[in-house]
Chains A and B, each alone.
Chain A
Amino acid sequence: MSLLTLDHMKTDIGQYAVLHDVSLTVPEGGVFVLLGRNGAGKTTTLRSIMGLWNASPGSVKFRGQDITSLHTAEIAKLGIAYVPENMGIFGTLTVDENLVLAADKGRIDPTRLKRVHTLFPALERFRDKKAWSLSGGQKQMLSVARAIMEPRELILIDEPTKGLAPAIVDSMGEAFREIGQDSTILLVEQNFNFARKLGRDMAVIDDGRVVHQGSMEAFAADTGLQDRLLGLAM
């Protein structure tokens, strides 16, 4: 069953047309990977789903409900979380304060907090530290942790491995595998080796259009297709 459907979505940023025609079906469960070159429109796709940029014309449907014209806050309340490329943490707040903001009604569910601390032990050690003082990897952990402080059906994650050390990337992959058991993850990623280990389904976006959608297994096996669509030999 499809959880999210993008139907001929177009997005303009100012006078520039960034997404020309994005149609995509994200099935429920697991990790769906959106691949593409720099500037292809991956981040714009996620921001358009979240309502941070207006997708018009075209539509975004979540569980069959048209969310195209909803306010970002209303989209979030439907159960969609967003982990932006720049992580979007609040540096002047502590780690715990960042998590409190993500908890419904300002009360952290102890079970979920325990889960977060199990997935990302560093966040338990530094819970009273200001978020700006964390390392890049810890900030990324905090950003992902915030997205799972409440049950979310869909989590949009934008290039989480960018600039991270290999060891952190591995533990992030483990965390995504675990999170993907309860939630669907729509992952934008340029690190194909990381993405191929996680993704069940995938799509490639190029110049604001979806040019390929299928299973990750088949795409990973076809180096010619990878070279043609992503512009590099893997």
Chain B
Amino acid sequence: MDRISEILGRMGGVNLLPVALAAVAFILIGAPSSWATLTVAGLAMGMMVFLMASGLSLVFGLMDVLNFGHSAFVSFGAFIAATVLAGLSTWLAADSVALNTAALVMAFLAAILFGLVAGWFFETVIIRPVYKDHLRQILITMGAMIVAEQTILAFWGGTPFTVLRPHFLEGSWIIGDVSIEIYRGFAFLLGLAVFVGLYLVMNRTRIGLLVRAGVENREMVEALGFRVDRLFIAVFMLGSGLAALGGAMWAGYETLITPALGSELMIIVFIVVIIGGLGSIEGTLLGAILVGLMSNYLGFLAPKMALASNMILMVAILLWRPNGLKPAV
């Protein structure tokens, strides 16, 4: 058994799991074109969930905070981006990629900016008084999630909100028999860019070193002369901004959004954080891709099992690795 683990470890270890899952799905699905479409859809979904989950994972790992209110940033990000896109509908309708892009960038920036400011407020006013008290954290952050959902309902109403997309992200690329939705390709590339950026920050900068050290031993980081509480605010703001960006991306993916969007996605986001390993950016990416692929493959093969599949995946992984696939510590 140890020998097998060693060989698998040398070949890539847990990083091979998505490849193995894709290989099994290829056999079960049978049709290569369907398999390719589902794989791209799974990767795109995984990347969007990664955006939402990466901040939560860092907040969990570094701050030991159970933040159920994270979904509020996802929902607000989606609605703010959708509102900005609706306000810039003439830019979106224009036959100009530059104007289309500008509208999209404005929408994303508005969502991120909201996430950063709301994250600062949330950490300072709601989270700080309940550090080190998990029960109160759960109660207060769930309360915040409900308040956020009701606020969205009050501002945007309960009717599903239509999200406009730039022209250049509409349609599909057709490669042979395979149809790849352009928006999914874009979601994958944006998620990948964010991952690379986060990976470089975490592994090549002093701030990243501090975050990684803080996840492991907060006290010792303070004893070396760093204010970890200030680092917490920065990480919380980053996490909230990324969640809002994830929400904005998801809004464009779904094209029809409701105030419950964030709370519905939170189950998946928590599963990703738990199976990836707390505080680990690489683990979160791995978990998100597995969840994205699993949802899409089973949605095709056994639609009734689609939601349960992620729970089963989580149970299986936790039985195998109780700390997740790639825990930070």
- Taking a contact as CB atoms under 8 Å apart, the answer to whether B222 and A73 are in contact is yes
- Taking a contact as CB atoms under 8 Å apart, the answer to whether A52 and B219 are in contact is yes
Q: How far is the CA of A106 from the CA of B224 in the complex (A)?
A: 12
Q: Mark B236-250, 1 if CB is under 8 A from A, else 0.
A: 000000000000000
Distance between A6 CB and nearest chain B CB, rounded to angstroms:
18
- Taking a contact as CB atoms under 8 Å apart, the answer to whether B216 and A101 are in contact is no
Residues of B281-301 contacting chain A, CB below 8 A = none
Q: Which chain B residues border A93 with CB–CB below 8 Å?
A: 209, 212-213, 216
8 Å CB contact of A101 from B219, B221, B227, B228: B221
Q: Mark B84-127, 1 if CB is under 8 A from A, else 0.
A: 00000000000000000000000000000000000000000000
Instruction: State whether the Cβ of B206 lies closer than 8 Å to any Cβ in chain A.
Output: yes
Instruction: State whether the Cβ of B220 lies closer than 8 Å to any Cβ in chain A.
Output: yes
Instruction: State whether the Cβ of B131 lies closer than 8 Å to any Cβ in chain A.
Output: no
Distance between B206 CB and nearest chain A CB, rounded to angstroms:
4
Instruction: State whether the Cβ of B210 lies closer than 8 Å to any Cβ in chain A.
Output: yes
Instruction: State whether the Cβ of A202 lies closer than 8 Å to any Cβ in chain B.
Output: no
Distance between B175 CB and nearest chain A CB, rounded to angstroms:
41
Q: Which chain A residues border B212 with CB–CB below 8 Å?
A: 90, 92-93
Q: What is the total number of residues of chain B having a CB less than 8 Å from a CB of chain A?
A: 19
- Taking a contact as CB atoms under 8 Å apart, the answer to whether A92 and B224 are in contact is no
- Nearest CB in chain A to that of B230: its residue: A73
Q: How far is the CA of A106 from the CA of B208 in the complex (A)?
A: 12
Q: How far is the CA of A213 from the CA of B228 in the complex (A)?
A: 36
Q: Which chain A residues border B173 with CB–CB below 8 Å?
A: none
Instruction: State whether the Cβ of B12 lies closer than 8 Å to any Cβ in chain A.
Output: no
- Taking a contact as CB atoms under 8 Å apart, the answer to whether A76 and B329 are in contact is no
8 Å CB contact of A76 from B206, B213, B225: B225
Q: How far is the CA of A88 from the CA of B228 in the complex (A)?
A: 16
Instruction: State whether the Cβ of A210 lies closer than 8 Å to any Cβ in chain B.
Output: no
Q: What is the total number of residues of chain A having a CB less than 8 Å from a CB of chain B?
A: 22
Q: Which chain A residues border B213 with CB–CB below 8 Å?
A: 90, 93, 101
8 Å CB contact of A90 from B206, B220, B228: B220
Instruction: State whether the Cβ of A100 lies closer than 8 Å to any Cβ in chain B.
Output: yes
Q: How far is the CA of A6 from the CA of B223 in the complex (A)?
A: 19
Instruction: State whether the Cβ of A91 lies closer than 8 Å to any Cβ in chain B.
Output: yes
- Taking a contact as CB atoms under 8 Å apart, the answer to whether A91 and B223 are in contact is no
Total CB contacts across the A-B interface at under 8 A: 57
8 Å CB contact of B206 from A52, A100, A146: A100
Assuming the contacts A93-B212, A93-B213, A97-B209, asked whether A88 and B223 have C-beta atoms less than 8 A apart, the reply is yes
Instruction: State whether the Cβ of B257 lies closer than 8 Å to any Cβ in chain A.
Output: no
Assuming the contacts A97-B209, A100-B209, asked whether A91 and B329 have C-beta atoms less than 8 A apart, the reply is yes
Q: Which chain B residues border A29 with CB–CB below 8 Å?
A: none
Assuming the contacts A91-B216, A92-B329, asked whether A101 and B209 have C-beta atoms less than 8 A apart, the reply is yes
- Taking a contact as CB atoms under 8 Å apart, the answer to whether A90 and B216 are in contact is yes
Instruction: State whether the Cβ of A82 lies closer than 8 Å to any Cβ in chain B.
Output: yes
- Taking a contact as CB atoms under 8 Å apart, the answer to whether A72 and B223 are in contact is yes
Instruction: State whether the Cβ of B172 lies closer than 8 Å to any Cβ in chain A.
Output: no
Instruction: State whether the Cβ of B226 lies closer than 8 Å to any Cβ in chain A.
Output: yes
- Taking a contact as CB atoms under 8 Å apart, the answer to whether A73 and B209 are in contact is no
Q: How far is the CA of A82 from the CA of B222 in the complex (A)?
A: 10
Q: How far is the CA of A218 from the CA of B91 in the complex (A)?
A: 87
- Taking a contact as CB atoms under 8 Å apart, the answer to whether A76 and B209 are in contact is no
8 Å CB contact of B219 from A72, A91, A92: A72
- Taking a contact as CB atoms under 8 Å apart, the answer to whether B209 and A88 are in contact is no
- Taking a contact as CB atoms under 8 Å apart, the answer to whether A72 and B222 are in contact is yes
Q: Which chain B residues border A84 with CB–CB below 8 Å?
A: 219-220, 223
Q: Mark A105-141, 1 if CB is under 8 A from B, else 0.
A: 0100000000000000000000000000000000000
- Taking a contact as CB atoms under 8 Å apart, the answer to whether A90 and B225 are in contact is no
Interface centre among B210, B223, B228 (most CB of A within 10 A): B223
- Nearest CB in chain B to that of A50: its residue: B223
- 19 other A-B residue contacts (CB within 8 Å) besides A72-B222, A72-B223, A73-B227: A73-B222, A73-B226, A76-B224, A77-B225, A84-B219, A88-B217, A88-B219, A88-B223, A89-B220, A90-B212, A90-B213, A91-B329, A92-B216, A92-B329, A97-B209, A100-B206, A100-B209, A101-B213, A101-B224
Can you sample 30 A-B contacts with CB below 8 Å? A50-B223, A52-B222, A71-B222, A72-B219, A72-B222, A72-B223, A73-B226, A73-B227, A76-B222, A76-B225, A81-B223, A82-B223, A84-B219, A84-B220, A88-B217, A88-B219, A88-B220, A88-B223, A90-B216, A91-B216, A91-B329, A92-B212, A93-B216, A97-B209, A100-B206, A100-B209, A101-B209, A101-B210, A106-B206, A146-B224
Return the 9 tightest CB-CB contacts between A and B, nearest first. Answer: A88-B220, A76-B225, A72-B222, A106-B206, A82-B223, A90-B213, A77-B225, A73-B227, A73-B222
Which residues of A are interface residues toward B (Cβ below 8 A)? 50, 52, 71-73, 76-77, 81-82, 84, 88-93, 97, 100-102, 106, 146
